[in-house]
Amino acid sequence: MDNSDLTPRLDWPELKSQLEELCDETPSAESVDAWLKRWTELAAQLSEYGTLTHLATMVDTRDAEAQQRYRDYIDEIDPQAKELDQRLKQVLLDSGVVPAGMEIPLRRLRSEAELFREENLPLQAQLAKLGMEYNEICGNWSVDWEGRQVPIAALRRHVESNDRSVREKAWRLGAERMKQDRARLSEIWAEMLELRLQIARNAGFDNFTDYSWQSWGRHDYTPGDARTFQQAVLEVVTPALSRQLAERRTSLGIGSLRPWDLTCDSEGRAPLQPFADAAELESRTQEVFSRLDGRLGGWVGEMAGSRMFDLANREGKAPGGFMTVLAERWQPFIFMNAVGMSQDVRIMLHECGHAFHVYQTADLPYMQQRDVPMEFAEVASMSMELLAAPYLTADQGGFYSAEDHARDHSTQLEYIIFTWVMIAVGDALQHWIYSNPEQAKDAANVSAKYLELFQRYYPEVDISGLEDEAAWNWQRVLHFFLYPFYYIDYGLAQLGAVQIWANSLKDEKQAVTQYLSGLALGGTASLPQLFETAGAHFGFDNATFGNAVGIIEDRLRQMKG
């Protein structure tokens, strides 16, 4: 995509003046509606500018002008904007006015206001710049594959090859390339960790875990509940994964499962190639969602018409996939690195789920009401991966033959089991890091802990002789560097998504209606209420996991006949 499409425009002195004027007003019961709408309007201008400056650095990590523009935003505008945002929060909280539909958002605002410290603004700016460097490093990961430089993400296709030697070569090549940046990533890690600890101390916390919990607005569960989640996965999901991996080992006819044996087809079939290019991914996705619900297809069409997709993998593009919001026009934008694989289809469906959340919250008048808790934001996306599944066959406008679709859907369900374990490992790692921050400043200690957790949660995977590569694999997980503690959200949301999908197996139309009703609430309800409205139970104990795993394993047995 042309980077000029992402060039933002902002008259910051004028916007700053208008925000300052709003700070001088005291909202009353009669005026608070207009005051909040004005705040929403002004904040949206600033948010869209920040989003666009950041996006420009992601679509081309080599664009020096875009990188400098974002640094200028971080250094010059963002600290001032955060101070004004804090003043506005305090004005609203001090007014004592509680507008209808703002009870839960005000709870969140109160937590954010309590955390604000002016001395943290330059520290947060340093974190943002270190995050940029992390993305630049990862975005430039490329390797020589048969005489051609390819982004490391393109190796995914070869790790799914039926030729085990090709899989191993691709896996080792990727690990070796990442190893080249291990030292600098370790330095970035140590700098980031120290900054986060200082930010927490400045805000009056003696540990970063509690600070982060309040920062994420987690009012409905605790760090102790997260440990319950980790233990439930170990006791309920890891045995299910071990059963699954034992079947895979038998099907492949190998003595042990190595890391490059986890994603290839267990029956030796060639990797699925569901689409040829980004344009086909876009058009078929629109057709799939049109079959599921006309509103969904219409929204994808609207995004396509507005060029709100950047889907293709290319050299110099930052890794990962995400949906972000252009707040002034309240329009979603999807960024990803598609290379023509089944996983890309699922990522597209996932990010479209986030986009649908944006459309469903468009009628909420205040930005604070549109601020959705992450755990439920991921319900929106993960549910869509499953709800769209019946329409992925070519006769429905989708990507697969009936046979290939059955194969893909089985892989999808198996991957959910795998994902829960992966999330538990990542969450446990982060709880260890921030409970032992001095040890964790040395990235080698983090690697040792990661290896220990990996071996505990993945007993069926043979990493003998690969301990070093496996131990350092955590460095490729951007969440650990950029979004600490934003990981369990995926696991909790997947539990909700499986329940919503189970509802759809009984009554699809009703399940979609409930799903959209939950999305429409935005951030105006508690997590248990959001889950319930969408048709799910908010929980993470052995019983909840046991029910979800049972649904998945029953479905897999049915599909295998």
Q: Are residues 390 and 533 in the same domain?
A: yes
Total residue count of the chain as it appears in this document: 561
In a domain, 316, yes or no: no
How far is residue 153 from each of residues 33, 177, 305, 344, 551, measured CA to CA in Å? 47, 12, 28, 11, 32
Q: Where are the alpha helices (DSSP H) in 24-63?
A: 32-59
User: Which two structure tokens, joined as six digits, stand for 499?
Assistant: 């329940």
Give how many domains the chain has, as a whole number.
2
Q: What is the pLDDT of residues 223-248, one digit of tens each?
A: 999 999 999 999 999 999 999 999 99
Q: Are residues 94 and 231 in the same domain?
A: no
**Looking up tokens 């909280």, which residue turns up?**
93
85 and 232 fall within a common domain: no
pLDDT score of 8: 83
- The one-letter code for the residue type at 552 is I
Position 28 in a domain: yes
Sign of CA dihedral 357, 362, 363, 368: positive
Model confidence pLDDT, tens digit, residues 74-116: 999 999 999 999 999 999 999 999 999 999 999 999 999 999 9
Residue with tokens 């990797």: 271
Instruction: Give me the amino acid identity at 504.
Output: S
Query: What pLDDT was estimated at residue 510?
Result: 98
Asked if 91 and 231 sit in the same domain, the reply is no
Please say if the pLDDT value at position 3 is more than 70: no
* Containing structural domain, residue 416: 223-269+343-561
Cα 539 from Cα 322, distance rounded (Å): 26
* pLDDT tens string 418-447: 999 999 999 999 999 999 999 999 999 999
For residue 404, being part of any structural domain is answered with yes
Tokens 């089991």 belong to 417
Write the pLDDT tens digit of every residue in 323-344.
Answer: 999 999 999 999 999 999 999 9
Residue 84 within a domain:
yes
Residue 528 pLDDT > 70, yes or no?
yes
> Looking at the domain assignment, is residue 108 inside a domain?
no
Q: Which of 518, 493, 278 is nearest to 381 (CA)?
A: 493
Strand partners for 326: 331
Residue 128: inside a domain, yes or no?
no
pLDDT for residue 561 is more than 90? no
Mean pLDDT for all residues in the chain? 96
Could you give the CA distance from residue 384 to residue 511 in angstroms, rounded to a whole number?
A: 11
Q: Give the distance from CA 463 to its chain's centroid.
A: 27
Of all residues in the chain, the percent with pLDDT exceeding 70 is 99
As a whole number of angstroms, the distance between CA 29 and CA 169 comes to: 66
pLDDT higher than threshold 70 for residue 4:
no
The pLDDT value recorded for residue 26 is 95
**DSSP codes joined into one string, 438-461:** HHHTSHHHHHHHHHHHHHHH-TTB
Quick: pLDDT tens for 24-55: 999 999 999 999 999 999 999 999 999 999 99
Q: What local confidence, expressed as pLDDT, does residue 296 receive?
A: 98
CATH number assigned to the domain comprising residue 404: 1.10.1370.30
Q: In this structure, what are the phi and psi dihedrals at residue 322, rounded to the nearest 5 degrees?
A: -160, 165
Q: Is residue 130 part of a domain?
A: no
Strands 309-312, 331-338: parallel, antiparallel or unpaired by DSSP? parallel
State what percent of residues in the chain have pLDDT above 90. 94
Same domain, 516 and 371: yes
Dihedral angle of Cα 108, 110, 115, 121, to the nearest 10 degrees: 80
CA distance 237 to 491: 12
pLDDT at 262: 96
- The residue whose two tokens read 């004027």 is 21
**3-state secondary structure labels for all residues of 179-204:** HCCHHHHHHHHHHHHHHHHHHHHHCC
Domain-ending residue, one of 57, 77, 99: 99
H or E element: which one contains 17? helix 12-23
| pLDDT classification of 483: cutoffs 50, 70, 90 | very high
- Model confidence at 5, pLDDT cuts 50, 70, 90, reads low
Please say if the pLDDT value at position 1 is more than 60: no
Give the tens place of pLDDT for each residue, 370-415.
999 999 999 999 999 999 999 999 999 999 999 999 999 999 999 9
Q: Which position has the higher pLDDT, 500 or 272?
A: 500
Evaluated on CA atoms 247, 248, 250, 251, the torsion sign reads positive
Question: Is 211 part of a structural domain of the chain?
Answer: no
What are 184-195's pLDDT values in tens digits? 999 999 999 999
More confident residue, 558 or 5: 558
**Whether residue 298 has pLDDT greater than 50:** yes
pLDDT of residue 139: 86
Mean pLDDT check: name the lowest of 150-154, 260-264, 276-280. 150-154
C-alpha–C-alpha distance, residues 53 and 66, integer Å: 7
- Domain end position, chosen among 99, 124, 149: 99
From 70, 99, 128, the end of a domain falls on 99
Residues 91 and 233 in one domain: no
How many other CB atoms are there within 10 angstroms of residue 232's CB atom?
A: 23
